Amino acid sequence: MLVKKLSKFIVGLDYEDIPKTAINKLKICFLDFLGVSKRGFNEKTVQILLKSLEEMEPNKLNINNDFSDNNRSSIIGKGYSNVYNAGFINGVSAHCLDLDDGHRFAQIHPGTIIFPTALAISEKNDINGKKFLESIICGYEIAIVLGTLVNPYHRDQGFHTTGTIGTFASGATASKLLGLSMEKTINVLGLCGTLSSGLLESNHQGTMGKQLHAGKTVYNGILSGYLAKNEFTGSETIVDGNEGFLKAMVIKKFEDMNYSAIQNYINSYLENSLGKFHIKEVYLKKYPFCRHLHSSIDSIINIKDKHDFNMEDTIKITIKTYKIATEHDNFNPKNKEELKQSLPYAVAMSCFKGNDMSNLENYNNYNYDTYDLETIKSILNKISIEESEEFTKLTPNYRPSNVIIETDKNNYEVYVELPKGEPENPFTKKDILKKFKSLNPDFNLNKLKPINELESINIRNFMKSFNHN
C-alpha cells in the first residue's frame, strides 16, 4: 500500500542518510522561502487573513513580537501565534507573490507548504536543526514523489497540486517533527488524503483562493499530525483504495485499473522514485508571474539584451509555446492576481526598455506608474499567441517558448527551452541573496548567516533573531 511505503520512508529517514547536495539545496530553498514570505506578509491577501483570524478569535494573534507559552510560532514578518495559525499565515505569505519554489514534473510548490509546517512545529517544540532538516527532506520527497505520480492528469482534471498533494507533504513534515510511530504516521497521511483540496478554477479567475490553498494545506497537515499523535485514525488506503485519491482525483490515469494493477504500478514507481532526494530538482523563480510564463519572459529579455531596436517599430510579436502556457491568454486582467496569470501582459511588460521584471513595485496596486498605458495597449494589440504541438509534446520535460519580434527592418527570434532557475539552468546562492535583498531592502543580511550551519542551530532562536527588526 502506498501510504504504508511512504510512512516507512518518513519514519526511517535519518540526517546521516541525506546527501550533501540535498542539504545544500535545502538551505538555498529556505533562504528563498524566508525572503519571499517576509515580503509576502505585507500583501493585501495576508492582511485580510490576519484581520479575519483576529475577528474570529480575538486576542489569539500576537503580532507585537511577544513570545509566550501559548504563542511560540513565528508569523514571518512580525509576531507570534499558535502553531496552526502561524503555519496557516506563513503558507499564504509564501505563496501570494508567485515567487515560491516549484517542481515542474510534480507541478507543485513544495517549499510554500513544507517550511511553514516545519517552522511552526519546530518553534513550538524547540526542535534542533538536524531534526528540522530531516522533516523538510521528508516533506519535499513526499510532495514530489506523489505529485509526479498523479500529474499531469491530476492537474488536467482541474486540481491545484499545491493544495491537494501539498497536504500530504505538510503531514509528512509534521509526522517527522512529532516523532510519530509507523502506525501514527500512516494515520496522518490517511487524514491528509481526506482533507486535501484545491481547484484550479480559483487560479483562472484571478482570485485569492489559490493563495488560500497554501495556508489551508499547512493547517490541515499540522492538524492531521496532532490528531494522529493523540490516536485519531486515518485510512491506510486513502490514496490507492477503490474510492481513494487516485480513483477520484486522477481518473484518466487510473479509472480502468483494478486494485491489483494499481498496486503493481505503484510498487514499480516507488522503487524507482522514492528516496532519490528530489529536492535537488526544485526550481526557483525570478519573476512574480505564473511559472508557465517565464520562458516567454526570458525570450523577450534575451532579445532586448542582444539587439538594439525601438519597441515602437514593432509590427508583430508572435509567442509560440506549449498548450498550458497558451491558456494563460487573458488580454484584459482586472487585478493583480489576474495580471500574474496573463501571458500577453507579462510579455508586454517585458518589452519596456530597462524594466526589471523581478521588481515587485512594478505590479503593486496594479497601477501604471512604471508603464505608459497607451504603450501597453499598443504592444498587446501586436501580440499573437500560438500553441506549438511540438512544444506541447516536449512538456513536462521542457517548458519551451519561441518568441518572434517583427519590425520594419528586421525580425528577431529567441527560443528558450527551460526558464532560468531550473536545476539545468540554476540560480546561485548569490542570486537568491540578491532576490532576498530586492524584496526586503532594509533587512540585515548578516542575520541569514546561521543558515549556512542550519543543522547545528536552534530554530527557535534563529527565528527570534530573524523576526526582530
Which pLDDT score, from 0 to 100, does residue 207 have? 86
Cell of 175: 509526522
pLDDT value of residue 468: 78
Please name the residue that has the C-alpha cell 491577501.
45
First to last CA, the chain: 48
Q: For the chain, what percentages of helix, strand and coil (3-state, to nearest 5) are there?
A: 60, 10, 35
The pLDDT score that the predictor gives to residue 307 is 87
Check if 2-285+430-467 and 291-416 are the same fold.
no
Q: What is the pLDDT of residue 366?
A: 47
The residues of the chain scoring below 70 in pLDDT are: 64-70, 353-356, 359-372, 469
User: 26 near 137, Cβ under 8 Å?
Assistant: yes
* Residue 408, pLDDT score: 87
The C-alpha cell at 447 is: 542575520
Contact call for residues 440 and 448 (beta carbons, < 8 A): no
Predicted pLDDT of residue 365: 46
Q: What are phi and psi of 402, to 5 degrees?
A: -120, 115
Burial class (CB in 10 A: 0-12, 13-18, 19+), 197: middle
Please tell me the pTM assigned to this model.
0.93
The 10 Å Cβ neighbour count of residue 439 is 23
| Dihedral class, residue 342 (left if φ above 0, else alpha if ψ from -120 to 50, else beta) | beta
Q: How far apart are CA 133 and CA 389, in angstroms?
A: 42
Count CA within 13 A, CB hemisphere, residue 425: 14
Strands (E), 219-335: 314-321
Give the pLDDT confidence score for residue 416 in this predicted structure. 96
The answer to whether 191 and 174 are in contact (CB under 8 A) is: no
- Supply the pLDDT for residue 354: 61
How is the chain split into domains, by residue range?
Answer: 2-285+430-467, 291-416
What is the Cβ-side half-sphere exposure of residue 202, based on CA atoms within 13 angstroms? 16
> Rounded CA gap, 319 and 322, in Å?
10
CATH number of 2-285+430-467: 1.10.4100.10
pLDDT of residue 369: 47
pLDDT score, position 339: 86
What fold characterizes domain 291-416?
60s Ribosomal Protein L30; Chain: A; (3.30.1330)
